[in-house]
Amino acid sequence: MADELRSHLSIDGHVSTLAFRSPLSVQRDAVPQRDRGAHGRRLLGQLQELTDSIVAFEEAREALGLPERRGMSIAVEFSPRGAFDYGSVEWKRDGIELLTVLAHVNSDVAVLHVPDGKLSAFVKRVTEYIELNNPKGTAPKNASLVNAIDNIRRAAFAELWTDTAEPPDDIQPHWFQIWLRHTSGSTAEVVDQFREQAVKVEIQVEPGYVSFPGRVVVAALGTRAALEHAAELLDLVAEIRLIEPNAEFFLSELTPAEQADWIQDLLDRTTFTVGDDVPHVCILDTGINRGHPLLGPALDVTDTHTYDPAWHKDDHAGHGSEMAGIALYGDLTVALNTQEELEIPHRLESVKILPPEGQTPPRLWGAITAESVGRVEVEAADRPRVFAMMTTSVGHLLGAPSEWSATIDQLAFGRAPVDITDLDSDDDDAPWVSRLFVLSAGNVEWQYWNEYPETNARSPVQNPGQSWNALTVGAATTLTQIDTKKYGTLTAIAASGHLSPASTTSVLWTRSAWPFKPDVVAEGGNGSLDGGIHVTVGPESLRVLTTSSDPTGEPFAASGDTSAAAAEVARICAYLRARYPQYWPETIRGLIVHGADHTEAMRATLPDETKRADKEQLLRTFGYGMVNAAQSEYSTAHRPTLVIQRQFNPYHQKENGSIVLGEMQLHDLPWPVEELQRLGAAQVELRITLSYFVEPNPSSRGWQSKFRYQSYALRFAVKAATEDDDQFKRRINKLERVPEEDAAFNDPDVGQWRYGAQLRARGSLHSDIWTGTAAQLGSKSKIAVFPVGGWWKDWKEAKQYDSEARYSLIVSLRASDDIDTDIYAPIAAIVEQEAVIAVDVDVGSTDADLA
């Protein structure tokens, strides 16, 4: 008999804040040893060549009527790769700015903007390298810098091109993203200044822009030759990327022969929640046809919007209405084939982001998304929402942030980008409002499904699915049944519980630091092969039944792929927001992942002797597994889930002005110790999910030190069964150790974690499962959450080091359903008793008591 479904347990308290220092240190490859005289003289010669080129450079600018130059961009080649912290060459006194870092096979190229007259800063350091020793007299002065430099030269277009796709090599105009330096003046002033200068090199700049810390992104039309000219002559250009084409949706033409009375039967059994304060799924798509009888009751006319006010609000293509049906009902096959009452706790909103004719001009999708979010928030600012977007673009990013994905991360984080030119702005005092985004991972085109699953491994998650803060959803399927009498030559492509043939993956991102994407998978339907060769999208039994945009003609549609999967996850998120209105978007995202798990078919892809690389491929194919609405929403007697929401200061400024790691949080959770000890050797699981949103820094400047993408990063550690409290704290916190203590502090339980500390340390969502005996678990109630590096810490000039980080920590204990014990009740009793005490203290207090 199934366990009774119970609410999760929200824990307030059971935590202490401690000062924190990481016991780990950064290890870099050694720089090569050089002949200081020969090497130094060669670099001085290259610097002199740069100085000599300034006259011709200035004449070219003057001929175009450009204002007096403010500096030049140079390329500094370092070897070996990763041997140097490139942020340390941003010499503030000299105004030198790092623009980009490009990785080559054996070296890195750092592109720097050097103000007029400041090449002398390099000349000075190289001269000191030749003539002086360090204070100890053991090596040349500045050796760590100068020995790492191979060459210094003028930066060319190739050094400012940071897209993984090759730049176009024809003479036709193309759309590009131009990332501009923003070191002074307002954002609008920077854009206006660049627009005026760009015209003189035959580049057209579109209206609109997106801003990030230190950068402004605009869309520009021009030839490669014009871009090369701009890269050479225009001071403001920091990097250049391609603008990708919009990916096509798959709009199924298969329509089940359903009857109108089925719709009426479902309506008679359905209760639609009303009110401004109930959760809404906001679908950014092709619009929604609210004339459909299954959609209209959940979509007010005032909640339909368009990106362009001139567009009609109806669904011109059908896709948005299909997604709306899934976001409300899930697979309609389930809802129609039952007589149970259905209560829908959420409603819909719609923003049409695709125009009725043709595609949206492929400019700045981030700006389009931000504007569309603003449309609904102006109308109902405080409404709890889940934003669902299935539009993707085809690119070659391989996990690197884009203007679009970073905009979504900024919107999810919930405040305006840091303006490093105006750090005292009133915007800093505006409240942070985090947002929950659900994105589709993007689809493998159906023509390639006959190469399943190899083609899925070769097809990377599409932009903006690499967003750190969003829930990116891939597709899996349990739909494999085909009517052999009707379709005798068809066979299902994917096995039950396996990846849908449409789903993209991040397998090609393996061995990178980018997050695992998709985060989870959900039902996305299947396809079939005719005669084992020819691909068929369908038949209907392999697709997800949903609403169409044509209620009078064909009221139902067969849909699927990662779009349908994302709509299903958005639906589950809305249910969670309705049940737990106090939970943050970070928590809802964490619960989706926390409830997911890999199916038997997914786990069967692992070899018998599983290595870390095999586990990474599993995560980059299926994410954390198939979503499970019940496990995300409910606890049971055998699987209690504890939810903690906290915030703290990850970084701290010392009296000497340096920025260091700040605090850690030590959670001592209410634990059913007696019940676990009574179970003894029975196998149990402990699952932990840590979810937080980062503030993005997407410029391609090496992704290290102050140019890390993430504002801050957090990790968790759990007390081992054989450790006492003191040993645990000394293992994770250097400040808990005695001076000069050099004993090894490894996790004694390291072999019992499914993924381990290194593999789970990707992105801003970390989930892992420990397996052991109940007796061991009884000693594992202490969990630490602590910071590691981020640009808030390393970018001192941005003045974000005193900002608070917030996180959601989700903890589940799991025992077999066959065991006759209740491990939920003792935790609930402690939580309830503490709540009663808290109320008694509050009621009994007076102003005098609190003075």
Q: Are 100 and 143 in the same domain?
A: yes
Is 156 within the bounds of a domain? Answer: no
Rg (CA), the chain: 29
Which of 132, 147, 162 is the endpoint of a domain? 147
Q: Are 90 and 120 in the same domain?
A: yes
Q: Are 645 and 552 in the same domain?
A: no
Q: Are 19 and 114 in the same domain?
A: no
SS3 call for 549: strand
Q: Are 300 and 333 in the same domain?
A: yes
Q: Are 658 and 800 in the same domain?
A: yes
Is 292 within the bounds of a domain? Answer: yes
Give the model's confidence band at 357: pLDDT under 50 very low, under 70 low, under 90 confident, else very high: confident
Look at the chain and report how many structural domains it folds into. 4
* Sequence-distant (≥ 6) Cβ neighbours of residue 489 within 8 angstroms: 530, 531
In this predicted structure, the answer to whether residue 566 has a pLDDT above a threshold of 50 is yes
Give the model's confidence band at 742: pLDDT under 50 very low, under 70 low, under 90 confident, else very high: low
pLDDT, tens only, 437-449: 999 999 999 999 9
Q: Are 141 and 224 in the same domain?
A: no
Name which residue leads in pLDDT, 702 or 514.
Answer: 514
pLDDT at position 247: 35
Is 248 within the bounds of a domain? Answer: no
- How far is Cα 568 from Cα 828, in angstroms, rounded to an integer? 31
User: Minimum mean pLDDT among 406-410, 723-727, 809-813: which range?
Assistant: 723-727
Which of 108, 131, 147 is the endpoint of a domain? 147
CA neighbor of 647 nearest in space, from 802, 797, 528, 538: 802
Is 611 within the bounds of a domain? Answer: yes
> Look-up: residue for tokens 């209690």?
640
Is 846 within the bounds of a domain? Answer: no
Query: By the 8 A CB rule, do 570 and 325 touch?
Result: no
**How are beta strands 304-306 and 347-352 bridged, if at all?**
parallel
Scanning 555-595, the segments in alpha helix (DSSP H) are: 561-579, 585-595
Name which residue leads in pLDDT, 802 or 740.
Answer: 802
Q: Are 178 and 135 in the same domain?
A: no
Name which residue leads in pLDDT, 642 or 420.
Answer: 642
Name which residue leads in pLDDT, 525 or 89.
Answer: 525
Element (H, E) at 514: none
Instruction: Name the burial class of residue 280, with classes exposed (0-12), middle (13-18) and buried (19+) by CB atoms within 10 angstroms of its CB.
Output: buried
Range 68-80 average pLDDT: 85
CA distances from 176 to 183, 204, 244, 724, 843 (A): 22, 10, 9, 57, 62
Range 823-827 average pLDDT: 94
Q: What percent of the chain has pLDDT over 70?
A: 91
The upper half-sphere exposure of residue 551, i.e. CA atoms within 13 Å in the direction of its Cβ, equals: 19
Give the model's confidence band at 131: pLDDT under 50 very low, under 70 low, under 90 confident, else very high: very high
- How far is Cα 368 from Cα 246, in angstroms, rounded to an integer? 13
Q: What is the CATH number of the domain that holds 333?
A: 3.40.50.200
CA distances from 172 to 158, 167, 221, 226 (A): 18, 12, 10, 11
Give Dmax over CA atoms of the chain in angstroms: 91
Domain that holds residue 199: 174-242
Is 116 within the bounds of a domain? Answer: yes
Which of 557, 590, 622 is the endpoint of a domain? 622
Q: Are 400 and 549 in the same domain?
A: yes
Is 568 within the bounds of a domain? Answer: yes
Query: By the 8 A CB rule, do 460 and 509 touch?
Result: yes
Name which residue leads in pLDDT, 25 or 812.
Answer: 812
Q: What is the CATH number of the domain that holds 205?
A: 3.30.70.80
Backbone angles phi, psi at 386, to 5 degrees: -125, 120
pLDDT, tens only, 683-711: 999 999 999 999 999 887 766 655 789 99
Q: Are 218 and 362 in the same domain?
A: no
Give me the amino acid identity at 772: G
* Sequence-distant (≥ 6) Cβ neighbours of residue 821 within 8 angstroms: 637, 638, 675, 678, 679, 815
Tokens of 828: 């609930």
Q: Which of the listed ranges 50-64, 455-469, 654-668, 738-752 does the model predict with the highest average pLDDT?
A: 455-469
pLDDT at position 175: 86
DSSP string covering 407-469: HHHHHHHTSPPP-TT-TT-GGGGSPP----EEEE--B--GGGGGGTTHHHHHSBPPBTTT-SS
Is 254 within the bounds of a domain? Answer: no
pLDDT at position 416: 81
- How far is Cα 196 from Cα 66, in angstroms, rounded to an integer? 9
Q: Are 345 and 228 in the same domain?
A: no
- How far is Cα 274 from Cα 802, in angstroms, rounded to an integer? 41
Range 423-430 average pLDDT: 62
DSSP string covering 136-168: TSSSBTTHHHHTTEEEEEE--HHHHB--SSPPP
pLDDT at position 252: 35
Output the average pLDDT for the chain: 88
Give the model's confidence band at 454: pLDDT under 50 very low, under 70 low, under 90 confident, else very high: very high
pLDDT at position 251: 27
Element (H, E) at 296: none
Give the model's confidence band at 360: pLDDT under 50 very low, under 70 low, under 90 confident, else very high: low
pLDDT at position 268: 94
Element (H, E) at 770: strand 765-773
pLDDT at position 847: 39
Tokens of 319: 């896709």
> Look-up: residue for tokens 């695992």?
516
Q: Are 600 and 457 in the same domain?
A: yes
User: Minimum mean pLDDT among 61-70, 688-697, 781-790, 841-850: which range?
Assistant: 841-850
To the nearest 10°, report the CA torsion of 310, 313, 319, 325: 160
For the range 749-753, what are the long-range contacts, defined as Cβ-Cβ under 8 Å and sequence gap of 24 or more? 749/718, 749/720, 749/721, 749/722, 749/776, 749/780
SS3 call for 649: coil
pLDDT at position 512: 76
In this predicted structure, the answer to whether residue 562 has a pLDDT above a threshold of 70 is yes
Tokens of 761: 């340390």
pLDDT at position 25: 61
pLDDT at position 552: 85
Question: Whole-structure pTM over 0.75, yes or no?
Answer: yes
Query: By the 8 A CB rule, do 343 and 324 touch?
Result: no
Neighbours of 58 (CB within 10 A): 15
The upper half-sphere exposure of residue 739, i.e. CA atoms within 13 Å in the direction of its Cβ, equals: 0
